[in-house]
Amino acid sequence: MKKLTCIIAFTIIVINQNNAFAQTKSCCAMNATAEFAMLGKDADFQKAHLAPDPINFTPSTGSELTFTTSDGTNGKGYMIKSEVKSKKFLFVIHEWWGLNDHIRKEAEALALAIPEVNVIAIDLYDGKVATNADDAGKFMQEVKQERAVAIINGALQYAGTDAEIQTIGWCFGGAWSLQATILAGKNSKGCVMYYGMPEKDIEKLEKIDSPILGIFASKDGWINHAVVDEFEKQMKSLHKPLAIKWYDADHAFANPSNPSKYDKAAAEDANKLAIAFLLKNF
């Protein structure tokens, strides 16, 4: 009896130690999107993002969208509906500036390039739009994981249970493009992520059921070869389809509103690659 009591006591101690470790690991581990958001404090990262050039944009095919989010509030977006009834949806996720007219214009261009698809540019900033790097960094850091997930889940619910979902995003939106794909689960058909922070959690990566196209910049001082190589290694170990394309360019090279970093040739090539990928997987 005494021996049994000792065994039980020892078992309880081990379980408590393991639970404490798990709780410590859970509270201290930083998820991919939060890690990327921390770059909002980085002075060099801010300098790499000049204020976006002014744009004279008048909506031609899209309109503002409001939908119910999974936390019971409302989410916002900009939607271009397919000319024919379609269960295909492309989620477009903005850079750290927010859902501005540059993203609305890009969403309309994508809808034109990929016919019979509903395009929704999702607003993860709840209406806030930055015009300078200080505000952009602030808004990016203010995004709560739970709220962003609720917005994406709301967009998924709006699309419907039988929807076919693909995602595309840049920078902050590149990281969330991958997260949206994970959240879409079996409904996901493909993901394009431009120089966004890859997910590192194996349990989350295991949930991916669709091909991923990662577009990265070799001169990127943050989402660099070491970060992407680790992502490739993890995806390969899980037998998940991943294609990586590197460009000899800087972070934000595909953003025409960033005059100092925009690389026209690389951006146009990457855009062709992304559209071909999306067309193939719908």
| pLDDT for position 35 | 87
- Amino acid identity, position 230: E
Alpha-carbon gap, residue 33 to 36, rounded angstroms? 5
pLDDT at 131 over 80: yes
Mean pLDDT of the chain: 90
Burial of 14 from C-beta contacts in 10 A (0-12 / 13-18 / 19+): exposed
- CA distances, 58 to each of 55, 81, 121, 125, 212 (Å): 10, 17, 16, 22, 32
pLDDT at 250 over 50: yes
| pLDDT for position 166 | 98
Q: How many degrees, rounded to 5, is the angle at CA 165 between CA 136 and CA 146?
A: 45
Share of the chain above pLDDT 70, in %: 89
Mean pLDDT over 166-191 rounds to 98
| pLDDT for position 149 | 98
- Domain edges within the chain: 1-29, 31-281
- CA distances, 170 to each of 217, 253, 267 (Å): 12, 10, 12
DSSP codes joined into one string, 225-275: HHHHHHHHHHHHHTT--EEEEEESS-TTTT-TT-TTT--HHHHHHHHHHHH
What are the pLDDT digits (tens) for 1-48? 444 444 444 444 333 434 433 333 333 356 888 888 888 888 888 878
pLDDT at 160 over 70: yes
Share of the chain above pLDDT 90, in %: 78
Q: Pick 21 or 56 by higher pLDDT.
A: 56
| pLDDT for position 39 | 85
What are the pLDDT digits (tens) for 5-18? 444 444 443 334 34
- Sorting pLDDT into bands at 50, 70 and 90, what band is 272? very high
| pLDDT for position 155 | 98
pLDDT at 68 over 90: yes
Q: Pick 172 or 28 by higher pLDDT.
A: 172
pLDDT at 110 over 90: yes
Assigned token pair, 139: 């808004």
| pLDDT for position 251 | 95
The answer to whether residues 139 and 64 touch, using CB atoms and an 8 Å cutoff, is no
**Domain 31-281, CATH homologous superfamily name and number:** Alpha/Beta hydrolase fold, catalytic domain (3.40.50.1820)
Percent helix, strand and coil across the chain, each rounded to 5?
Answer: 45, 20, 35
Assigned token pair, 133: 């790097």
What are the pLDDT digits (tens) for 198-245? 999 999 999 998 999 999 999 999 999 999 999 999 999 999 999 999
Q: Is this prediction's pTM over 0.85?
A: yes
pLDDT at 138 over 90: yes
